[in-house]
Amino acid sequence: MTIADDTLTVAVRVKPGASRTRVGGRYDGPLGPALVVAVHAPAVDGRATEAARRALADALGVRPATVSLRSGAASRDKLFLVERPHAELPEVLRRLRDGSTP
């Protein structure tokens, strides 16, 4: 997670084909500590990426239009950008990723 120029970069590990959509947990992968996003959508034609983008926006409490894919379209390891993050967003993200409670 990095913050620069009114954007927040979020490393995500997508798990397509899950029984239900779930956001939470940590995956230590090639992009560093990543938030795990499990989605029901299959990894076909970008459907899992789009489902992950929407699930991430919902979990962070932001509009889906403010979340965009930066890299990783064909990979399970992705970087998403969140435009104009509010001040509490890094803490919300940390809690989701590390499983801590408020």
Query: Where does residue 94 rank: exposed (0-12), middle (13-18), buried (19+ CB within 10 A)?
Result: middle
Listed by start position, the domains of the chain span 2-87
pLDDT tens digits along 43-60: 999 999 999 999 999 999
Q: How far apart are CA 83 and CA 7, in angstroms?
A: 5
pTM for the model = 0.90
pLDDT band for position 11 (50/70/90)? very high
Give the pair of three-digit tokens for residue 33. Answer: 């500590």
Domain 2-87 in CATH 3.30.1200.10? The answer is: yes
- Give me the chain's average pLDDT, please: 91
Helices (H) and strands (E) in the chain, counts: 2, 6
